[in-house]
Amino acid sequence: MSQLLRYSIARFLHPTRSDFINMGLGIEARRKRCGKYWQSHLECSKLFQRESFLRQPALEEVTVLGAVELNDLDSEGVRARFSRINLCDANPLVNRKWIKFARSLSSRQAVTFCNEDLTYSLDSWSEALRGFFVEYPEENVEALACFLGSLRCSPKAARPWMDADVIVSLNLLGQIPLYWRDRVQQAALEYWDYDTDENGLYPLYLQEALHLSLSKLQSQHIELLASSGASCIVIISDVNYMYYTKVHSHWQTEPALLISKNLSLKNRHLADQSSWYWHIAPQDIEQPGYGIIHEVGAWRFENRGGN
């Protein structure tokens, strides 16, 4: 693989800060450009949810985490089966789609919008990160690795959305670490002028410490779901990011899940599982040098011993 291609892939994996700020915001524009390539992914995602909803007894309330544009949500199933619907994301501009969805509901249905960081740790971690760089104005990579290794997620806070009968974590788990990764990389660049290599990586010990902090955020999401009151939990998430070029029979694969791919939730059993591919960024439509396909996983967990 050419150096240029490796570099552009690294830039995609480790986007610039403005890409980061627009992470949730660029989805709709990309969906319009790549609509026909996304179709099967969106259908698989909706079908998995529909079958999950149909297998539940009459239920009242559903929470959708990572709802953003509602592209991959089984909106019809949600509308048909639930009287209380909670839509959650950390994206300040999602409201247009959500309001349209709310207007499509009957007067007997209620919808709640929840716009917040679902890790509940990013604010305190960012504050601590600022404090770290004030304490270490000069480059000290060992200290940064130590700092990252020492981070702990905020204790689980009870949220009203956790009382829902069904919770859908919709293409969120794989994305959760990206905000934090970008904050760390941005701070190291700004304070120390310290950047990743051409593959988007730090030296091994620092990369491992960063990786550990990222995986804690994903574990925390799983624990949060497990500690909810939901009798059915659906998780749909990227599992791997796969990079290809038209001219080489060679893939580069990066994990999207930094925790075990055999997801398990305490006190729940795995009732169904599926996987498929999402041709998210076809070569020459999104970028000329390479294309990207995501391997997507879907899991349905139910209470042990039935509902």
Ligand X SMILES: C[S@@+](CC[C@H](N)C(=O)[O-])C[C@H]1O[C@@H](n2cnc3c(N)ncnc32)[C@H](O)[C@@H]1O
Q: Which residues bind ligand X (CB under 6 A)?
A: 24, 27, 66-72, 89-91, 117-119, 170-172, 175-176, 179
State the minimum distance, in angstroms, from the CB of residue 23 to ligand X: 6
Note whether 156 and 227 are within 8 A (CB): yes
Task: Compare residues 89 and 245 and give the one whose CB is closer to ligand X.
Answer: 89
Task: Compare residues 117 and 163 and give the one whose CB is closer to ligand X.
Answer: 117
State the minimum distance, in angstroms, from the CB of residue 202 to ligand X: 22
State the minimum distance, in angstroms, from the CB of residue 146 to ligand X: 24
Tokens representing 129 are 């990160």
Among 94, 243, 107, smallest CA distance to 170 is for 94
State the minimum distance, in angstroms, from the CB of residue 25 to ligand X: 8
State the minimum distance, in angstroms, from the CB of residue 143 to ligand X: 26
Residue with tokens 């999402």: 278
- Using DSSP, state whether 243 is helix, strand or coil: strand
Q: How far apart are CA 93 and CA 302, in angstroms?
A: 33
Q: At what angle do helices 122-135 and 176-192 cross, to 10 degrees?
A: 20
Task: Compare residues 47 and 146 and give the one whose CB is closer to ligand X.
Answer: 47
Task: Compare residues 94 and 206 and give the one whose CB is closer to ligand X.
Answer: 94
Task: Compare residues 178 and 209 and give the one whose CB is closer to ligand X.
Answer: 178
- Find the length of the chain: 307
- Ranges assigned E (strand) in the chain: 61-65, 84-89, 110-115, 166-170, 232-245, 248-255, 268-281, 291-303
